[in-house]
Amino acid sequence: MIRQMNPSNITDMQISTCRHDAGLLRLTSLIMLLGMFLLLSCREKEEPHIPPGMKFIADPGFTTHDTVIVAGQKIRVGIQAWGNDAGITYFSIRYNDGSPKIVLDTGMNRSRLTYTVDIIKTSSAVETWTFFIMDRNRQTDSARIVLTKSLDSKWGKIRTLPDVTLGAQERSDTGSFFSFSSGQVFTLGGAFMNQPLIGMIYYYGLYQGTFASPAEAEAPGFFTGTQGIAGWTIRNETRYDTTSVSPAAFDLAANDSLLLSAYDPSAGKRKAKFITPGMVVAFKSPDGKLGLIKVSTLSGTTAGTMKFTVKIQE
């Protein structure tokens, strides 16, 4: 026998079910609110990230503090940096002589960093060098050193290396390698035997007439073989900076005042491109001396030659 349900009983059951569902809904809401509260409380209790650290290298021969030096004087500055909560992902060197500039700007991923740089005091009255790091958590640290030009500054002596001729990479009878220190021109074989002396390379390629040095990235591709640059154990670096110095001003230079004012530390590159006759290029040699190169002639082929004169600090 099938028993028929009393309508009043059905209504009571529906009300009871609704009350039960409402209770579950309130309980679920309370649990969610409690979870959110606990999550926010945990976040509020998280310890702040510890920033990375940095200090100047205080070994003999290094400068660690603001100093007064004469124009043209060279100092060595070094930093040691380390991550605490996270690795170092960014490093830069910033230079300000009244106009802020970036000398170095690089990404990385390492727990520690050691970096040294040789700084030549420019002719500006005051210049500030700032070393800046950032870690993966975007926490930062920095250190700076201020160099003030001494009132006792006197212009230094220079030497002139006149009428030097270099051949491009396919020139067989004229070397493509030059030493700022000895004034000698070398073929690839001679350069291989005298790697510590080589400060300048000339080749003709994508950027036409080009000044470079062994540490420049593209130079090994032009000078290959068993004595090719890629296999050298000493690959010096020279930095170049194109200038607005005229050939006449170059000819008149009798001390290093023009050399100091022409070279911008933030603009120095590993190569000078599109070299043409009449151009004057500033440079910083591998041993930290500043100079100027005046280009006299250039034949624009891979087997051509280029003639120039150098003025460099003694």
Query: Which CATH number fits the domain that encloses residue 111?
Result: 2.60.40.1930
> Is residue 243 domain-shared with residue 168, that is, in the same domain?
yes
Structure-token pair, residue 83: 């991550």
pTM attached to this predicted model = 0.74
**62-67: long-range contacts, CB 8 A cutoff, minimum separation 24:** 62/116, 63/145, 64/145, 65/145, 66/145, 66/146, 66/147, 66/148, 67/145, 67/146, 67/147, 67/148
Interval 196-254: pLDDT, tens: 999 999 999 999 999 999 999 999 999 999 999 999 999 999 999 999 999 999 999 99
Together in a domain, 127 and 262: no
Considering the domain boundaries, does residue 92 fall inside one?
yes
Residue 18 is assigned to a structural domain of this protein: no
- 26 found inside a domain: no
For residues 162 and 145, state if they share a domain: no
Q: 227, 252, 253, 238: which is closest to 290 by C-alpha?
A: 238
Residue 22 is assigned to a structural domain of this protein: no
pLDDT at 2 over 50: no
174 burial via Cβ count (<10 Å: 0-12, 13-18, 19+): middle
Does residue 211 lie in a domain region? yes
Decide if pLDDT at 90 tops 90: yes
Number of domains making up the chain: 2
The Cβ of residue 159 has, within 10 Å, a number of other Cβ atoms equal to 13
Give the helix, strand, coil percentages of the chain, each rounded to 5: 20, 40, 40
* Residue at which a domain ends, from 106, 126, 149: 149
In angstroms, the CA 71 to CA 146 distance is 14
> For 63-76, what is each residue's pLDDT tens digit?
999 999 998 888 99
- Provide the residue range defining the domain that includes 99: 53-149
Other beta carbons within 10 Å of 33: 10
Together in a domain, 178 and 292: yes
306 and 216 fall within a common domain: yes
Burial track 52-91 (b if 16+ CB lie within 10 A, e otherwise): bbbebbeeeeebeeeeebebbbebebbbbbbbeebbbbbb
Interval 151-204: pLDDT, tens: 888 889 999 999 999 999 999 999 999 999 999 999 999 999 999 999 999 999
Q: Strand 290-298 vs strand 305-313: parallel, antiparallel, or unpaired?
A: antiparallel
Residue that terminates a domain, selected from 101, 119, 149? 149
Is 42 part of a structural domain of the chain? Answer: no
Measured CA to CA, the distance from residue 214 to residue 228 in angstroms comes to 10
- Residue 46 covered by a domain: no
Mean pLDDT of the chain, nearest integer: 89
My answer on whether 137 and 218 are in the same domain is no
pLDDT, greater one: 278 or 45? 278
**Domain final residue pick, 98, 117, 149:** 149
Is there a domain that residue 135 lies in? yes
φ and ψ at residue 232, rounded to 5 degrees: -70, 150
